Every structure is written in structure tokens, then in C-alpha cells.
Amino acid sequence: MAGHHGMVGSALVRALQGRGDPHVITRDRSALDLTRQSEVERFFAAERIDTVYLAAARVGGIKANNEQPADFIRDNLQIQTNVIHAAFCSGVSRLLFLGSSCIYPRLAEQPMSEEALMTGPLEGTNEAYAVAKIAGIKMCESYRRQHGADFRSVMPTNLYGPQDNFDLESSHVLPALLRKFHQAVLAGDGVVQVWGSGRPRREFLHVDDMAAACCHVMELPPGDYWAAVSDRCSHINVGTGEDISIAELAGLIAEIIGFRGAIEFDATMPDGTPRKLLDVSRLRGLGWEAHIGLREGISRTYGWMTEHWENIVVA
Ligand code: GDP
């Protein structure tokens, strides 16, 4: 498991252990820096690893992606290249690469099917990150085509849940709004600022659903997985199939938290892609769909945030 401290990796560890897999191997960053090729090669040569979940990545919200494109493209290309190649060289039997729905063109037809990949220009605010993720999919596909490797890819929509990043500079919208509305209630503020116009639409998936989907995809026999995808379009979308506008999301979070003040939109901040809704029929055809509704998922995440509030505000 690469990335076990992150929101997705930690959910995956919980899910795998819940399915009775006690042999999950993880390493802290201080013991294994995945951006260092020789360290990764040594690690794979020394451990007997059968299956790899590649959930390690540099991730961030619209502001961080827009302002640090070099960091996003470099770290992600390094991590995924090192892990995928070392996994192949050490004879790993199956690998799952986790990407993102931002791989699709900015103005892709909605909902976005897997086939929409590389049919048009990308959204500018996260182009560097998206290019790295597209390279990861194509790398898995290439190892499949050249070497027959069983290297699979899943592309999640916007994820949220426990262990999320609540830092307002680098987080995604859902944890940012949970924090902003909670802080406003604590401070008795009457106004909360939401970035952009509020009109963009996004799809949100709870990370425990994402982890369950990853396990489902990895448990599919090779014949089932490779029959459902194609040689040059081998990834699978993971989402709920439903989206909402940022303004509606802000209203829902305000209601759950009990904020009764005003919501203002800050037009100086970017909107990003106008709409990002995944076509999840490929995954549905393979027998999986999301279970955690948005209201329930937000309430659970709000509970987690308030439990860990002390750590979040000092971070
Ligand atoms: P994206 O899906 O890659 O665009 O990433 P984000 O989750 O960071 O942003 C989604 C949308 O939410 C964008 O239109 C943002 O402008 C909007 N948004 C509104 N308020 C916030 C906020 O406080 N933080 C973030 N990250 N986005 C916000």
C-alpha cells in the first residue's frame, strides 16, 4: 500500500483489513521516499509483494494546483514511475493505480465516459496534475500491452471523508466549507465566503465508498477486468453518478452544521472546470455502486472533523 497516511490510503487499509487481509505492508515517508528511484527499487527487491495499491500522490485543491504546477507534475510523475516500474521488475502480480476525474477535457460531454480521455484540452488550473495522472494510466496500459502486466487503473471523482486535508490554502472544496462554516458558527460570524461563482458542478464520493470500489475492482478475475475495458482505454471511473452545484453544496453544509448567516461568493477566485460528472456505467456493469449518500457522508465527516478539531486548527 503506497500512501497509507493519506485520506484514500488510510481508508483502503481499513477496507482491506475489514475484508480479512492482515498482511498490508506500509512504510512511513521517513523510511521510504517514493520520489527516490533507488529507495523504491531496494524496497521492492527486499519485500515479497504480491499486490500494489498506488494511492500515494501529491494532491490538493484548486488553489494549490494552480499555484504549484511544477510540484504537482514532478512528484506525481516520480512516485508513479518509480512504483509501477519497480513493481513490474519485482514480479508483482496485480497493481491498482489511482487517478482523478480531472484527467478528462475541461469541456468533456457530461457525464464523462472513460472514452473521453484525450479528446480535448484540459482544465488549466490542474493541467500539470492531470497530465501526470494520464501518464500513470498510459504507463499501466503500456506495461499491459508490452509485458502482459495486470496493472489496473481507477479514476475517482472528488473524494471526501475522514483524514481529509482541512487546510484552507490547499484543501478541496468540501473540507474547506466544513471548516469555514464550523469556524463561523464558533466565532458567531454572520458571513461565509465561498470561492468562485458557486455555479460549477461537482460530484462527491465518500472515501469509504472509494476504498470499497478499489477492493471490488482488484478482486475481479483478470478475465472480467480486461473484458470490461480495452487495451487503449483501460481505466474505470468511480463515482456516484450524481452532481450538485457548489452553491447547493454550501447550502447543504450550512444546514448540516446549523449556520444561519449569509453565504457570499468571491468572484476573484477561480471556478475551474464548469462541470465534472463521471459516467459510472462501466463500474456498475462490473457489479459495484456507491452506498453512502452525500448528506450522510457529510454528517459523518463533520463528526470526524469536530473530533479532531484541536489538531486541525493547530496544523
Ligand atoms: P476542483 O474540483 O479541482 O476544481 O477542486 P476544488 O475542490 O478545490 O474546487 C471545486 C470548486 O469549489 C471550485 O469551483 C472552487 O472555486 C470552489 N470552491 C468554493 N469555495 C472553496 C474553498 O473554500 N476551497 C476550495 N478548494 N474550493 C472552493
Rounded Cα–Cα distance for residues 224 and 229 (Å): 9
Is the CB–ligand 1 distance for residue 272 below 6 Å? yes
Please say whether the beta carbons of 178 and 253 come within 8 A. yes
> Angle at Cα 18 formed by Cα 61 and Cα 296, nearest 5°?
50
What is the value of pTM for the model shown? Answer: 0.96
Give the per-residue pLDDT at 20: 86
- For residue 111, cis peptide bond before it (omega within 30 degrees of 0): yes
Rounded Cα–Cα distance for residues 61 and 69 (Å): 12
Is the CB–ligand 1 distance for residue 238 below 6 Å? no
Span from the CA of 63 to the centroid of ligand 1 (angstroms): 8
Give the per-residue pLDDT at 315: 67
Is the CB–ligand 1 distance for residue 102 below 6 Å? yes
**Residue ranges of the chain with per-residue pLDDT less than 50:** none
Rounded Cα–Cα distance for residues 183 and 177 (Å): 10
Buried b (16+ CB within 10 A) or exposed e, 114-143: bebbeeeebbebbbbbbbbbbbbbbbbbbb
Residue closest to 278 by CA, chosen among 213, 205, 177: 205
The per-residue pLDDT for range 257-276, each reduced to its tens digit, is 999 999 999 999 999 999 99
Please say whether the beta carbons of 167 and 15 come within 8 A. no
Span from the CA of 44 to the centroid of ligand 1 (angstroms): 37
Is the CB–ligand 1 distance for residue 62 below 6 Å? yes
- As a residue count, the chain comes to 315
Residue with cell 509501477: 84
Span from the CA of 226 to the centroid of ligand 1 (angstroms): 35
Positions marked active-site:
129
- Characterize the bridge pairing of strands 201-202 and 244-245: antiparallel
Give the per-residue pLDDT at 2: 84
| 3-state secondary structure at position 23 | coil
Upper half-sphere CA count for residue 88 (Cβ side, 13 Å): 20
Give the per-residue pLDDT at 68: 97
Arithmetic mean of pLDDT over the chain = 96
Give the per-residue pLDDT at 3: 80
